[in-house]
Structure 1
Amino acid sequence: MNDLTQLTYQLDGHVATLTMNAPPVNALTRTLNDELTLALDRISEMDEVRAVLLTSAGKVFCAGADLKGRAENIKVAGDFSAHSRRTRECFHAIRECAKPVVVAVQGAALGSGLAMVASSDIIVVSDKASLGLPEVDVGLLGGCRHAMRLFSHSRLRRMALTGMRVGGEELYRLGIAEVCTTPEDLLPKAMEIAQTIASKSPVSTRMGKHTLNVIEDMSLRDGYRYEQDMTAQIGKTDDAKEAQRAFAEKRAPVFTGR
């Protein structure tokens, strides 16, 4: 992916690391927004990638929307609607990426940054990380619906109405983050989880993530029925048959993604 300018791509085994690099605070510029969407859409169709590690360079994960850039790009009728659509699709690209996304948050993830974190599958944070919705201080809203996937009713409203931030250790205590570690150990811990995912059947993790996305807003009855149907489909794949043979033969499975 040599055409990326504010995002770097690196493949390590079957794990693709995407690193946001838009100094000084990794604000979600139009360029970064479009590059994230493009990279994740490409990764969805790359057989060599089985898991994604999303992180960023510098001390701030993402300070939110690029307000200056947005003002420069919204000049005529239709520009604001186009901007809003582009931003939505960036978050959806993370959630709908066919490959599971592990996010490593080293610093503040605010507004749009929080929405990126909430759109990921597994969250790993450092003890310097924080999630927040500071838009109340500039007369805006942003990321509240995504934050509802992470926080309780009262905590979310306190964050949205006061600008309060929630730190890494509290995110771990609340069960929002899987790991809270030092900044130095953040990427190794996140990579360990991503590599574990990548060691599983790619067809199983791909269909598993898709199923989890679909049933999230379903009733218990409909959601479990859908899950049962998808289980039957997964069970017909070569990878499922290989996993069962390997289990019986007490050996490591060799997956082909079919």
Structure 2
Amino acid sequence: MGIELQRGEIAEVILDFPPVNAVPAAGWHAIAEALAVAGSEPQTRAVVLAAEGRGFCAGVDIKEMQRTSGHEALLAANRGCAAAFAAVYDCPVPVIAAVQGFCLGGGVGLVGNADLVVASDDATFGLPEVDRGALGAATHLARLVPHQLMRTMVYTCRPVTAWELHRFGTVLEVTPPAGLRRAARRVAEEIAGKDPLVIRRAKESLNGIDPVDVKRSYRFEQGFTFELNLNGAGDRGRRRFLEDR
């Protein structure tokens, strides 16, 4: 349970936080560390970011926040998410996200910063942050869906399916769940067959021409989450979520 790093030419970073991959604050930092290690090893040519269980990621661990007094858990989660999302983006080699089931909140942050996305045919993507009294990861959702749809999803908390993202071109391939990891490794192997130096420079150059500074943009969003916690909206949203479960 936790974060597993499988080293190799195609490295795998695997989330495993039963029952729904709601990631605690320390888990986000562990994701960042695993990606940094994988990317730093000369033999690594691509990284597959995957998860065990019925869903890729349910976002932050709200129970952890509610059982921790003050703002320590919130601040730790904020910094952890920022570190994990940045580690996906800054990884020197391409990161392929393999998404099954639900991909919510922080899961969208990870996937939106990935270079390629492969998803199972049962995968859905959403930002329920407004219902939780929070904001964040619209920066990353905007890399997956058109602008007006991104706004609709933020305001209404409606999810979209893998097939919808495939139509937008932001999910490369949709596959039955049993073939998900295999499909992700297949495209990783295609990338691994290229000159590794050229691929690393390609990743660096593509990040350099991005029109949005994703790290600064996300930290800006997080400021509003902290404001909502100071005025009580965050706690109200988290309590409603836990009461409704």
TM bucket by the smaller chain? 0.7 to 0.9
Q: 1:113 to 1:79 in 2, by over 3 A?
A: closer
| Equivalent-residue separation in structure 1 for 2:168 and 2:100 (angstroms) | 18
| Equivalent-residue separation in structure 2 for 1:205 and 1:90 (angstroms) | 22
SS in 1 for 2:119: strand
Following TM superposition, where does structure 1 have runs of at least 4 consecutive aligned residues deviating by more than 3 angstroms?
71-74, 78-83
Which of 2, 8, 25 is equivalent to 2:4? 8
Which of 63, 77, 101 is equivalent to 2:58? 63
Q: 1:99 to 1:74 in 2, by over 3 A?
A: farther
**Larger RCO (alpha carbons 8 Å, 6+ apart):** 2
Structure 2 match to 1:21: 16
Matched, 1:114 2:92: no
Runs of 5+ unmatched residues, structure 2: 213-245
Matched, 1:31 2:26: yes
State the identity as a percent. Answer: 35
| Equivalent-residue separation in structure 2 for 1:81 and 1:212 (angstroms) | 31
CA deviation profile, 1:57-110 (whole Å, cap 9, x unmatched): 01110011111213445636x764454223211100011011110010011110
Structure 1 match to 2:35: 40
| Equivalent-residue separation in structure 1 for 2:207 and 2:21 (angstroms) | 27
| Equivalent-residue separation in structure 1 for 2:65 and 2:196 (angstroms) | 38
| Equivalent-residue separation in structure 2 for 1:115 and 1:187 (angstroms) | 20
Shift in Å at residue 192 of structure 1? 0.4
| Equivalent-residue separation in structure 1 for 2:183 and 2:174 (angstroms) | 9
Amino acid at match of 2:12: T
Does the 8 Å contact 1:6/1:31 carry over to 2?
no
Structure 2 match to 1:148: 142
Count of residue pairs the alignment pairs up: 212
Does the 8 Å contact 2:166/2:172 carry over to 1?
yes
Does the 8 Å contact 1:94/1:101 carry over to 2?
yes
Does the 8 Å contact 2:65/2:73 carry over to 1?
no
Does the 8 Å contact 2:105/2:128 carry over to 1?
yes
> What TM-score do you get using the length of structure 2 for normalisation?
0.81
> What TM-score do you get using the length of structure 1 for normalisation?
0.77
| Equivalent-residue separation in structure 1 for 2:199 and 2:180 (angstroms) | 23
Amino acid at match of 2:5: Y
**Structure 1 vs Structure 2 CA RMSD:** 1.7
Structure 2 match to 1:181: 175
| Equivalent-residue separation in structure 2 for 1:192 and 1:138 (angstroms) | 37
Matched, 1:208 2:202: yes
